[in-house]
Amino acid sequence: MGDMHDIFNLGREALQGVEQRLGMSRRDYLQFCATLAVTMGLSKGADAAVAKAIESAKRPSVIWLHFQECTGCTESLLRAEHPTLEKLILDVISLDYHETLMAAAGHQAEAARKDAMKANKGKYVLVVEGAIPVKENGIYCKIGGQTAIDLLKECAADAAAVIAIGSCASWGGMPSTGPNPSGASSVAEILGKPVATIPGCPPNPYNFLATVVHFLTFGKLPDVDKLGRPKFAYSRLIHENCERRAHFDAGRFAMEFGDAGHRQGYCLYKLGCKGPETYANCPTLGFGDAGENNWPVGCGHPCIGCTEKGVGFTKPIHQLAKMANVAPPAQYARIVEEQGKGASFASAAALAALAGAAAGAAVMLTRNLGLSHAAEEAERAKTGSQPKDKARV
């Protein structure tokens, strides 16, 4: 990172070049860096380090592989606005191989990949989108005559960092759903070592961008959890930050799609929302720069748990979630209590009869307890034993 004083001593002249490259004002650029720093959970002042890294560091070479997937992760990245894709790949990173976005094809595309890997040996970032099939020696996915298994291992051998983007690459995703005829597997399973995983179907592009910028700024990937997910994005349950959480706590649930509760934005737990057992920052970040409600629950559909292995594409969409930290009580008060009309003479008499019976039962219980105690004392007198409490003393 260089000298700390130099990193945080950012003047207007140092930012003029990056302003022209990114087409952003100095104010907007620093705001962008601050947003990334906050997203990554960095300490106060780290936005200056991010700005310095983007302004002066060599753009990292990125090799992006596609395997068993729908290209939804790339489509999500295409819709990022801060910065837009062309500024991202031309000014922040150097996207040297990406089958969907590159102009080259066939032999030219493979030659570009190999040239980039050779020129940036030990320094490039490998991004993998899609699961890797392993059955029948990997014949279900081939690119340029190589199986996905061989291509992944070749590209990962000299990579400075490996990032699995999307649920398919992170843990198998939809292709690995039973019976999984192709043996779809995750990147970590194939490489046999931990990798940074950014699950989601698709994941938020800013989680990926923040991870790459963290590498660019500090020379390493961000802290991850036991599943390889960056903690800044996957350390909290969706349920904890959901805008419908207040309705959950108050016992207000949508019971079916389109009912009054659903239209009023009530909690979707009883429709199968997996937010209570899924870790992600979906409710706090949103998707596609189209507003804070632009995510499944915000649009009125239960979370399906796509970032969580064993939940997304495994559990039925409308099956109740397993509460990871707090369970709803067995019974809630009704949302609207009906107005009482007073007790009739008959109901009052019935209630009095029930009360009398309960009182009589209490008297009998007390009497029986007394008899039991007397019998116990008589037996103790015969045997000469001490009461249990006194014997312990």
DSSP assignment of 209-242 equals HHHHHHHHHHSSPPPB-TTS-BHHHHSSBHHHH-
| pLDDT tens digits along 58-103 | 678 899 999 999 999 998 888 877 667 777 776 778 889 999 888 8
C-alpha–C-alpha distance, residues 202 and 240, integer Å? 21
Q: For residues 199, 309, 285 and 299, what is the CA-based torsion angle, rounded to 10 degrees?
A: 120
pLDDT at residue 225 in the model: 92
| pLDDT tens digits along 217-260 | 788 888 999 999 999 999 999 999 999 999 999 999 999 999 99
Fold identical between 60-202 and 236-333?
no
Average pLDDT over residues 178-193: 94
- Check pLDDT > 60 for residue 8: no
Which residues does 11 contact at the CB level (< 8 Å), separation at least 6? none
Q: Give the residue, 177 or 289, on which the prediction is more confident.
A: 177
- This prediction's pTM: 0.70
C-alpha–C-alpha distance, residues 358 and 338, integer Å? 28
- Check pLDDT > 60 for residue 332: no
| pLDDT tens digits along 120-177 | 999 999 999 999 999 999 999 999 899 999 999 999 999 999 999 999 999 999 999 9
Q: Are residues 324 and 277 in contact, defined by beta-carbon separation less than 8 angstroms?
A: yes
| pLDDT tens digits along 296-313 | 999 899 999 999 999 999
Average pLDDT over residues 320-347: 61
The CATH architecture to which 60-202 belongs is 3-Layer(aba) Sandwich (3.40)
pLDDT confidence of 281, banded at 50, 70, 90?
very high
Q: For residues 21, 25, 31 and 33, what is the CA-based torsion angle, rounded to 10 degrees?
A: 20
Q: Give the residue, 356 or 345, on which the prediction is more confident.
A: 356
pLDDT at residue 181 in the model: 94
Q: Are residues 71 and 174 in contact, defined by beta-carbon separation less than 8 angstroms?
A: no
The CATH architecture to which 236-333 belongs is Irregular (4.10)
Q: Which helix (H) or strand (E) holds 26?
A: helix 26-39
Q: For the chain, what are the domain ranges?
A: 60-202, 236-333
Count of other CB atoms within 10 angstroms of residue 261 = 19
pLDDT at residue 286 in the model: 76
| pLDDT tens digits along 98-126 | 998 888 888 999 999 999 999 999 999 99
pLDDT at residue 47 in the model: 62
Q: How far is CA 364 from the centre of its chain?
A: 59
Q: Per the structure block, which two tokens stand in for 128?
A: 């993998």
Q: For residues 293, 329, 261 and 312, what is the CA-based torsion angle, rounded to 10 degrees?
A: 50
Least confident of 15-24, 82-91, 143-152, 357-366: 357-366
